[in-house]
Amino acid sequence: MKPVKAGLLGLGTVGGGVVNVLSRNGKEIARRAGREIEISHASARDLKKPRICETKGIQLTSNIMEVVNDPEIDIVVELIGGDTIAHEAVMKAISNGKHVVTANKALIAKYGNEIFSEAQKKGVMVAFEAAVAGGIPIIKAIREGLAGNSIEWLAGIINGTGNFILTEMRDKGRAFADVLAEAQRLGYAEADPTFDIEGVDAAHKLTILASIAFGIPLQFDKVFMEGITAITQEDVSYATELGYRIKHLGVSRRTDKGIELRVHPTLIPHRRLIANVDGVMNAVLVKGDAVGPTLYYGAGAGADPTASAVVADIVDVVRTLTTDPENRVPHLAFQPDALSDIPILPMDEVETAYYLRMSVADKPGVLAEVASILGGKGISIEAMIQKEPAKEGSNADLIMLTHKVIEKNMNEAISAIEALNSISGKVVRIRMERLDS
Ligand code: NAP
Ligand code: HSE
C-alpha cells in the first residue's frame, strides 16, 4: 500500500520533533498504523533557519496554503501556534476534506466548537492530543479509557514552563526571570511566554479537559485564571512549614450548581503524589465515580514528548481513514448532539479552603479582630502561625489556613481585614485543595 502523506505547518520545536520521531521509529509506527507515514510537504517562515530535524526529501515552502491545498496530502499537521493564521489554515484544510492534527490548545479552546462542527460536516477528524499536557495521553485516557465513568473532578499541573519555574525557585532559589529565559531556550515556553506565567495556556488546556470530561461545549471565556507571578519565596517557605507545596493547578469539578473551571496557584498537602511533580513534568488527577482517583504523569513540553502525542494522533487518523465517519470517537468524547448546557459556576460561588498571609501590628487584640471578621463570614481557622517581627516595633507575618468557604465570603472578609488599622498592605490569599478521594 502507498504511504499516507502528511503535510506539516511549522518546523519549530514540535514540528522538528515530529519529523525526528517519524524518522527514528518509522518502521514500528507503520506496523501499528498499517501504512507508512511520509511527511512530504512542510512549511516554515524562514527556510534558511537551521532545524533540529533533517528536511532532505521534504518539499519546503514558506507559504502554508501550498501545503493545505496540496492534493497529495491526506493529513495536515498544524504546529504553528496562535489563533489567527493557524485558524485560517485549519478551516481551509477541513474544507479541502483533509484530516487535521494539531498541538494548538489556544486554537482548540477558542475555536474548537466551530472547528469540530465543520469537521463533522466534512467527515474528517481533528485530533489534538498534544494540546494538553505534552506527551501524556490524557485526552485519550479521559475520552476513551474512562468512558464508563461519570467524572467528578479533575485537577492538573498542565503548564510545564510554570512548573519548571516554581520548582527551580523552590529548590535552587533561582530568580523567576532567569528560569523563564531557560524555559524559552529549551523550547518549553509559548511564543508569548505571558501565556505560561499568567495562566492563559493552562486555561486553554483546562477548557479542553473539562469539555471532554463533562460533555460540555468549550468555554474558554468562562475560566477563572490567576498566574504564578505573584508567588513569593516567603509563601513557598511558609507553605512548606505548614506541610504543603504550592503548585499552579487547573481544577474543574462538577457540583450541584454548575461546573468549576479555574486556574490558580494552589496549596496541596506535600504527601500527595501530584505535589511532588517537579520541573517540566505535568500530571493530571482525574476522579471517576467507578474507577476512583487516577493519576497521569509525564513530560508536559519539549520536542520529543510533544511529538510523541502528535505522532500518536497521526497513527489514529491513519487507522480510521477507511472507517465510516459517523462511527468514529467523537471529538469532544460525547456525541455532538448530546453536549450538556450545565452552567459554569461563577468564581464567587466556588468553595475552597485558603492560605492567608498578612502583615500585622505586633500588639494585643489584632488576632481577635482578624478572627472576628473571619468568624462573621462563617470562616473557621484550621491552623495559624505568627512569626516574630524582624525587629522590635515592626510588623509580624500572620499566616492562617482556613476551612472551606465560598469565594464571595472570603473576598468580603479580606476587604474588611485590609481596612483594619493594624494591618499593612494587602492580604495574600492562595487557594488550597486536599485532592483526596
Ligand atoms: P515554534 O518552535 O515557535 O514553531 C513554530 C513554527 O511555525 C516555526 O517553524 C515557524 O517558522 C512557523 N511559523 C510561525 N509563524 C508562522 C507564520 N505566520 N507563517 C508560517 N509559519 C509560521 O513553536 P512550537 O513550540 O513548536 O509550538 C507549536 C505549537 O505546538 C503551538 O501551538 C504550541 O502551543 C504547541 N505546543 C508546544 C509545545 C512545546 O513544548 N513547545 C508542547 C505542546 C504544544 P520559523 O521556524 O521559520 O520561524
Ligand atoms: N508552553 C507550554 C508549557 C507547552 O510550558 O506547558 C506545552 O503545552
Q: C-alpha cell of 270?
A: 506535600
Ligand nearest to the CA of 105: 1
pLDDT tens for 327-338 read: 899 999 999 999
Domain ranges of the chain: 4-135+303-338, 138-298, 348-432
DSSP secondary structure string, 1-57?
-PPEEEEEE--SHHHHHHHHHHHHSHHHHHHHHSS-EEEEEEE-S-TTS--SS--TT
pLDDT band at 244 (very low <50, low <70, confident <90, very high): very high
* pLDDT at residue 322, as a whole number: 84
pLDDT of 270 higher than 80: yes
Cβ(187) to ligand 1 under 6 A? yes
* CA angle (344 as vertex; 376, 106 as ends), nearest 5: 125
Contacts for 17 with CB less than 8 Å, ≥ 6 apart: 52, 53, 302, 303, 304, 306, 307, 310
Q: How far apart are the first and last CA of the chain?
A: 49
With beta carbons less than 8 A apart as the criterion, state whether 207 and 261 touch. yes
pTM for this one? 0.97
Ligand nearest to the CA of 160: 2
Predicted pLDDT of residue 391: 86
Asked whether 159 lines ligand 1 (CB < 6 A), one says: no
Under the banding of pLDDT at 50, 70 and 90, the label for residue 389 is: confident
- Which of 129, 190, 204 has most ligand 2 atoms within 8 Å of its beta carbon, as the pocket-test mutant? 190
Does the pLDDT value for residue 111 go beyond 80? yes
Report pLDDT digits (tens) over 288-300.
Answer: 999 999 999 999 9
Whether the CB of 129 sits within 6 Å of ligand 2: no
Mean pLDDT (whole number) for 247-255: 98
CATH architecture for segment(s) 348-432: 2-Layer Sandwich (3.30)
Give residue 195 CA to ligand 2 midpoint distance, Å: 9
C-beta 130 within 6 A of ligand 1? yes
138-298: what fold? Answer: Dihydrodipicolinate Reductase; domain 2 (3.30.360)
Q: What percent of the chain has pLDDT over 70?
A: 100
| Closest C-alpha residue for ligand 1 atom 38 | 301
Residue 325's pLDDT band (cuts 50, 70, 90): confident
For ligand 1, atom 42, name the residue with the nearest CA: 301
114-134, pLDDT tens digit by residue?
A: 999 999 999 999 999 999 999
What CATH number does the domain located at 4-135+303-338 have? 3.40.50.720
Which tens digits make up the pLDDT trace of 212-241? 999 999 999 999 999 999 999 899 999 999
Asked if residue 300 has its Cβ within 6 Å of ligand 1, the reply is no
Q: How far apart are CA 13 and CA 301, in angstroms?
A: 10
| Ligand 2 atom at minimum distance from 306 CA | 7
Spatial contact of 264 and 197, defined as CB atoms under 8 Å apart? no
Q: What is the pLDDT of residue 323?
A: 86
- Residue with CA closest to ligand 1 atom 48: 45
Mean pLDDT of the region 340-348: 98
Angle at 112 between CA 106 and CA 115, to 5 degrees: 125
In this predicted structure, what is the pLDDT of residue 30? Answer: 97
Residue 254 phi, psi dihedral angles, 5° rounding: -90, 125
Cα–Cα distance for residue pair 87/294, rounded to 1 Å: 34
